[in-house]
Amino acid sequence: MRYLRDKIVIVTGAGLSAPANLPIQDKILKEMTEPPEENIIDSAMDKESVKFLSAYIQVAIYLLREYAADIDVKKIIERYKRINEIYRSNNRVLEIIDFIGTNYNFKAEEKDFNLIDVLSDTGKRFYLEPDEYCNELMLLREELREQLQKADIQICLEDIFTLFDKCITMKDNTADYTYPEIDNLQNAILRLFTFYFSNKVISHAYDKSDYLETIRYIGRHAGHIAVITTNWDILLEEYFRKNGIDFDYKFNSPYVIKSDGKLYPDADGSSSLRIPYIKIHGSINWFRCLKCGTLQICDAETCGKYLFDDSEEEKCIKCGQKAEGDAVQIKPEIITPTMMKLLNSQLYNNLWQNAAYELQQADKVVFCGYSLPLADYEFRYLLKQNIRSGTDIDVVLYHNDDPGRCTDDNMINFLPEKRYADLFPNSKCRFCYEGFGEYFAEENKRGK
């Protein structure tokens, strides 16, 4: 009889979310150009959120300006500015009086014109109802969407995001944008990421056998298994929740709260069976207050709308600070791999330390849908430093990564298998190319 069971660590990457059609970072742009009838935005909300539309418009204008030289967006930019000016104008009385004077001839007697007509004409020019404002933005969004589709820009939003990260760290300006504008744009992109990701997560049916086998495997090994992921989405934790599997993000911090204001995690007796679930690049349901630094964890239903609900003020539950005007109060806590080394944050220090600890204990590491990309330089280093030599390593990928199925000899060295063999020369790597669903189903059947 064995008293100590082997410790297993599962490392997951983008490939794990692919069967759920989650918008992997580089697919977000495609989501942005989907026609409205198929667009998840429309099915997710009855009336479109002004906050969402503003984020969309800002990002779309940026993309067209920077990556589609043949499309002229000047008029759209002017219109967007004008709509905002009108909507936000509270102190334009003088301009309004001037307008009336010019258009309705001040010298005329009051009886010469109908005051109601004057006011209604003037109102049309100087005042936008919130609904009209939203409609104007929707029209603008649609126009930009068509232009984006036409421009067929082939850029990964994650690259742009990284570029902004760098500008912001260096407090740099780019040719067309000032530093504060870059900061705004980065926030708009972050918000679009959380929006598209969480909508897909909410609309997922949670009945896919691939995932059910995976969490069954994890559940069977509770107490001696941990999961580390580079993904931002919250698909796996939703499967955990719906199947009664207890997990812990392992923040090691007393400054994390849930959306009900209570501390995360709950203190109860089951903690030894709680699955450590360590998200080394952050998560779309984590939000940081820019005033007090508190991290807030949202559930799937609320996190996509959290930053886009016009009826609710953007407000920190802990310190009560509200966002003023267009200012950003709550920021999604997600980072790109390139930012890792520039960042010295307590949150990521704790998460990465916990990941290192789990890897040091591992007798077996299962990589799932993780291609060991070179861009994840810091994470590769962490793996290399902490996985003991001789540890069993299973690498679970799909057909398209299989060297045996690759017809182009030149491509073989660019497939993940080569990167794994190079990084772990002293471990026995076993490669499976039938997908993680197959892999875990097989392990579950064998009682492994």
Judged by the rule CB under 5 A, the positions of this chain that interact with Zn ion are: 289, 291-292, 294, 316, 318-319, 321
Cβ nearer to Zn ion, comparing 254 with 404 = 254
Query: Residue 56 has which token pair?
Result: 């969309």
CB of 291 to Zn ion, least distance (A): 5
User: Residue 317 CB, nearest distance to Zn ion (Å)?
Assistant: 8
Min. distance of Cβ 321 from Zn ion in angstroms?
5
In the bound state with Zn ion, the residue whose beta carbon lies nearer, of 148 and 347, is 347
Cβ proximity to Zn ion, 292 vs 421, nearer residue: 292
Nearest-approach distance from CB 150 to Zn ion, in angstroms: 42
Tell me the closest approach of the beta carbon of residue 389 to Zn ion, in angstroms: 45
- Identity of the residue, 15 or 282, whose beta carbon is nearer to Zn ion in the bound complex: 282
User: For Zn ion, which is the closer residue by CB, 292 or 342?
Assistant: 292
d(CA 190, CA 288) in angstroms, rounded, equals 12
User: How far, in Å, CA of 174 to CA of 193, rounded?
Assistant: 22
Nearer to Zn ion among residue 293 and residue 373 (C-beta): 293
Neighbours of 86 (CB within 10 A): 16
Min CB(261)–Zn ion separation in Å: 11
In 3D, which of 182, 187, 184, 189 has the Cα closest to residue 156?
189
Contacts of 275 (CB under 8 A, 6+ apart): 218, 222, 225, 226, 227, 240, 245, 246, 247, 248
Nearer to Zn ion, 155 or 319 (CB): 319
Nearer to Zn ion by C-beta: 184 or 294?
Answer: 294
What is the longest distance spanned by two Cα atoms in the chain?
104
Task: Report which of 9, 26, 11 is spatially closest to residue 397, judged by C-alpha positions.
Answer: 11
Q: Give me the least distance between CB of 181 and Zn ion, in Å please.
A: 25
- Sheet order of strands, 225-229 included: 247-248, 275-279, 225-229, 8-12, 364-368, 392-396, 429-432
b (16+ CB within 10 A) / e for 409-435: eeeeeebbbebbeebbeebebebbbeb
Q: How far is the CB of 319 from Zn ion (least distance, A)?
A: 3
Candidates 76, 87, 51, 86; CA nearest to 145 is: 76
